[in-house]
Structure 1
């Protein structure tokens, strides 16, 4: 089913090992807005086959990247890498004012609101 919707091999979707001319073709396609790969489920279009295949995991629910410690599954390898930091105790987001650190990137801006006065400290304060 996928084969009929995907561009033929050698069209610049081969990935990192492609030749310089193929890389230029990919760049031109991206800049021109051409998106030859279409999702059969929702119709969304992509410029690369690999991006389409990753997108289709949303429809299938496939989670091929498993954490070796807790067996939690992820749709993208980068999400697994980020998750593994939890087990290692890595907290890459650090408040410059107080030094409090966070695992999730979105928690730092929420915390920083207590410094700016946008969020009153009485409602769920982030203690440093």
Structure 2
């Protein structure tokens, strides 16, 4: 799955606001960038069809909200990208994460270590 720049911005907006209709999203993202209401509507519909948004009808308008949280989406995108390059059991994914972690500061590395430990505990059923 690939996401365009506008799709990422819409998701970011919905993660921060919880729920919005097309006019609200357009007022924040469209007007300032010269993007039409129809483009925002199409973007919301694409994200809905990609199963990243849910929507509820209220009157004549749909209100959209994120179906997946940011962390779950990032994990899904990483998995999609790496599955094209990494064979099962291969360690290049671990090497890539190790390389990427060279840009992290100590507090970020501590947080990563904490998250890894949480995953270990989940696997053990604790």
Question: Aligning the two structures, in what range does the TM-score lie when normalised by the shorter sequence?
Answer: under 0.3
TM-score, normalising length: structure 2: 0.28
TM-score, normalising length: structure 1: 0.27
Q: 1 or 2 for the larger relative contact order (CA 8 Å, sep ≥6)? A: 2
Work out which of the two has the higher radius of gyration on C-alpha atoms and give 1 or 2. 1
Higher helix share: 2
